[in-house]
Structure 1
Amino acid sequence: MNAQNAPLRGGPKAYVGVRTAMPKPQKSHSAHPLMGAIPLLVVGLALGVIDALLPNWGLPGAAAKDPMTRVVVFAVALLALYVLLMAISVGVSGKVSGVFWSSRNTYSLSRLQVVLWTWLILSALMAVVVCRAWSALDAGSSDGLATALDIYIPPELLTIMGISIASGAAAPAILSLKSMANAPSQSALDAAAARVGADVHAVGKVFVRSDWCPPLFKDLFESDDAAAAGTIDISKVQQFAVTLVLWSVYLAMLIHLFYTGVSGKAPAGVAANTTILPQLSDTFVYLLAISHAGYLAYKAVPVPPAANGAHLDAASNARSAQPGDGIPQSPLKPSTVLPRPLPPSTI
């Protein structure tokens, strides 16, 4: 190994460019990921069967139309779909949280909000169908299974789903375009490596985490730009807060629907015995749309490097990683330009 290619000890490093053949840590798997997914799949399906029969069984001492029976049906539907999502994640990635992973080895906020809305709405539809099939909702009390699928989904809810999916598709497309741009300066990447506390890999202007470091919760709030890695992306914070508030409000509205057993007034042209899912006001939809538009616009605009740049004082910024944060516990030192390996995956 010559002096140019010899790695320097200590400290995070910044990498830019195209992959060369380099050994990387081998992950040990005691079994194929599908082996871990099968038990979860069985549990999820079993919960679905239990949920489908629960109104007929009823809670101890409660009838099918008891408010708590309907609420428990909804809760079991949420749990069943959650376990099935975990089964998919484990089967594909080997990790329970794999459904939230991006191809950059980070947690994706756009994926999170798509999963949250999909999980909630599908669980609600499943619970409504089960309750209507057993005539546990007032709207379907007389027809049972014959009209179990007579459910009206408000246009506002469909709009929210459309916004979430569109944002989830647009976010990686924007990052793909930024990955083809010129990489930040070496000094900016060195400063980013010191802030992050680990090696910084850049594909174009996009930050990519190393294979050996798993995704971290803070990915949901940190900038995707390599030069600004380790800094807070305010658009992510704003979108996370708006999504969490609206999602929580709609969850409460669904719980109210199942507890009372009575849905809203059917719109014109909709049968009277149809179950109407809770309607969100146009204001909430506009708020979510503005949040996603701001998130995507902020992601598309080039982010300048943090102000400390090449003047970073490594000694004053050194720290040891906290246990459990997935970062090696070693003091930080200025990063050094090394031969440039490819990040763990493409955008």
Structure 2
Amino acid sequence: MIFSHISDTHLGLTQYGLQEREDDVYLVFNESIDTSIKDHVDFVIFAGDIFHVPNPSGTAILQMANALKRLKQNNVESFFVLGEHDISRIRSSPIPYVYHNLGFSKYVGQGTPIIHKGVLIAGFDKIRRGEMSKFYDKFSEIDKIAASHQGHKILVMHQGISEINQFAGELSSTDLPKNFTYYAMGHLHDKFLKQFSHLGGPVAYPGSIEMTTSEGIKETQKGFYEVDISTSEARPSWIKLDTRPQLSDRVEFENLNESITKTIAKITGYSKKPIIEIKIHGNNIDSDIIQSQITRLAPHTLHYTWKITQVEDSGGSVLLERPSSIDDELFRLAINYLGTQENATFAIQELLPLLSTNKIKEAEQAILEEFERFRSKK
């Protein structure tokens, strides 16, 4: 028996204001569905952040509906939980509920286990940091049920694990129920697979299916897991998706012309126009010269950008751009200014995503909830 574990599809995401980037997400999403059908998986798990926003466009809603329809036509069931991008703070019903109500897919985000082909599947929607302590009893209850089940047990969650990412982690691996044979995780956008000695199976993050805004520009692979559970152990295999290439190169200003020529030669054979970032290092940098050279990339790329690195007198360098991990740097700065990691986590993980997408009402609700939680501790 084989199942697919897909997460962080972020359907509807439009990067750089380009329709091509929204279409890129749909293309790789449909590739993951088509591959799952071709490989005759028995079921599919969607581990949250199905959509990029809680009120997705009609196109995004139809893309998911058509994919679920194709799965059903091939006798492939699917199961899903909700991520923070799927849930509105103003208490409206999440769009993915429609697929459950119509019988296209099965919602498993409330911790109630179901049995499918002898496999126990249980899940939890994204749990906010301030609410985590309320769920430990539920974790204990579901763990007892899993311990008594003969066969595979899959836990689906959209949460960060602190041992994997200290800033995005709302709980540690020791908080997880212990008796599951596979932990189908979502939320972290990089691929990660680890077997903790105190857990019954591997903790797996397939990562996002395409690069998202918070990840910057970098050369990486995206995909999903197909998991073989035909034996007593869950054995995940990585399936790479055909994403648009992205490159981030560091070049010397003195060699800019030659470096751009080499970059163009490198990307000319790509089947998809890439996204390029050029980090320029050196002294006495002339931005007019940079602009004239960088524009040579335009016919060969979907999107390009450039940053400047300047050399200090001490021999070190200062990068005049965002750090390689924007999330880590934001957390570091937030902790410095807000005083505690708890306050920083609320500001970066909950408030900032709402404000950055102009969800003012949801942001107000988040602040009120955080204040009530703070007051209850006094």
Shorter-chain TM-score category? under 0.3
Q: TM-score, normalised by structure 2?
A: 0.20
Q: Which has the higher contact order (CA 8 A, sep 6+)?
A: 1
| Structure with the bigger percentage of helix | 1
More strand by share: 2
TM-score normalised by the chain length of structure 1: 0.22
Q: Which has the larger radius of gyration?
A: 1
